[in-house]
Amino acid sequence: MMPLFWIVSRQLAEIAEQMATSKKVITREEWEKRLNDVKIRKEDMNKLVMNFLVTEGYVEVAEKFRMESGTQHIDLATITDRMAVKKAVQCGNVEDAIEKVNDLNPEILDTNPQIFFHLQQQRLIELIRNGKVEEALEFAQEELAPRGEENQSFLEELERTVSLLAFEDVSNCPVGELLDMSQRLKTASEVNAAILTSQSHEKDPKLPSLLKMLIWAQNQLDEKAAYPRINDLLNATLEDPAV
């Protein structure tokens, strides 16, 4: 699947420039010949897969793939520790997550005030979620308010979060999404990216960007030609052009 994505995304833009102003029909045979003319090294494909597995934290799969593909050695311990932080945030155990981040590298939070604020904000959200109103107000006043005084955006986020306390039924609250799982995932993703950066890794996997490039290139070519298109990204199957 991924070799096809790689080949198509590299060729589409170039082919689009070669097409005449009127739409040209490219047969499956001609299209597949063009794709087969592009040579992609297996080593590069393996690196692309490993990049995705490491960034997303699939420890066991990454180790198995390393052994089968002969890809460079990876430090599984760093992945495991990073995923422990991510899981703690996703489960609402923010204090534990902060402790684990500091165990990994205390400079991560010291040099990223926005991430530290968002972790503390998530901790406030968890207190509100658990009905600990007095503790939530005290925490907001002592830990978050001083940071809000120094940063206007922090203050606005704090005010939005504290407004949750004004509603007995959060389903009618205009900021009720702060209590959704998506908020935990957002914070966890932000922390995960910061840890990756501190370890000199890319914070985002390359594969999703490659898929976006494929979609963009196909959209560009659609204006100039009818060709076997990939509409099913899951299976990466070519569909004959509509003529």
Which pLDDT tens digit goes with each residue over 142-163? 999 999 999 999 999 999 999 9
How many C-beta atoms lie closer than 10 Å to residue 88's C-beta? 20
Higher-pLDDT residue of 76 and 230 is 230
Confidence (pLDDT) at 12: 64
pLDDT band at 102 (very low <50, low <70, confident <90, very high): very high
- Give the whole-angstrom CA distance, residue 9 versus residue 12: 6
Confidence (pLDDT) at 48: 87
Go through 57-86 and write b for each residue having 16 or more CB atoms within 10 A of its CB, e for each that does not: bebeebeebbeeeebeebeeebbebbbbbb
Provide the mean pLDDT of the chain: 87
